[in-house]
Amino acid sequence: MHIDSLTFTLAVSLVFFIAGWVKGIIGLGLPTVAVGLLGLMMAPAQAAAILVVPSLITNVWQLAAGPAFRPLLRRLWPMLGAICGGTLAGGWLWSGGVSAHATAALGVALVAYAIVGLASLRLSIPRHVEYWLSPAIGAATGIVTAATGVFVIPAVPYLQMLGLEKDDLMQALGLAFTVSTIALAAALAYSGALHATAAGASFLALPPALGGMFAGQWMRSKIRPAVFRRCFFVGLLALGGHLALHGVLA
């Protein structure tokens, strides 16, 4: 499908404004929304390449705003290291024989994330199992990231089960997302997907993402976040189902 440059720029700007807006309201969702919506127009690898700069800047911002960076780093480093290893090891999925199924895989990842979000499970993980579970979660997240460009499954549900305080959880999410973005950028660069054109589009996507984030933060006090969150996951479920079906039938 041919898209002229102006239409492409406007579409990408709108996508990242919406993604930033969601993140501003509920504290997460920028990469998920951006890659999901861009997946309607392009391959997941292209969408992930455009995601790199907005995701990195907004997540470093979220990471820096938290109160407990060093304790979280000491606790989560096995997962973070495994995210890097899993993402780099799975990088061949962008250009290998299964790349044709990347859109379907993206759709499945979004559906899984939406179901977990709608279920609102309140499970907890005992501290003594983290030493072996944390690396396994990180490796799985890295493989999903390499295949789809979405780095929320299973890292986000796992972090939500650790019993962290609200501010610590937001900082832990920022830390995991920052590491995932850097690892994804390395994998994309290695595969040749992060070229000059994609990097330029990624920088252009930053202002609308920040604008949307500011707008979302302002709107947070105007609407009920719980209701918005539910609508967000329902929309994500529909988007993921569409992408999965499109990928299978393509």
pLDDT, tens only, 144-169: 888 888 888 889 889 988 988 878 88
| pLDDT band (50, 70, 90) for residue 141 | very high
The pLDDT of 90-119, averaged and rounded, is 75
The pLDDT of 17-29, averaged and rounded, is 85
Instruction: Count CB atoms within 10 A of the CB of residue 74.
Output: 9
Q: How many angstroms separate the CA atoms of 126 and 111, rounded? A: 27
| pLDDT band (50, 70, 90) for residue 1 | very low
Whether 100 has a pLDDT exceeding 70, the answer reads: no
Q: How many angstroms separate the CA atoms of 196 and 162, rounded? A: 39
| Chain centre distance of CA 120 | 19
pLDDT at position 121: 67
**3-state secondary structure (DSSP) of residue 32:** helix
Identify the residue whose tokens are 């005992």: 126
The pLDDT of 26-30, averaged and rounded, is 78
Who wins on pLDDT, 240 or 180? 180
8 A C-beta contact, residue 35 and residue 149? yes
Whether 3 has a pLDDT exceeding 70, the answer reads: no
Identify the residue whose tokens are 């501010």: 167
176-198 pLDDT, tens digit each:
999 999 999 998 888 777 777 78
Q: How many angstroms separate the CA atoms of 116 and 103, rounded? A: 20
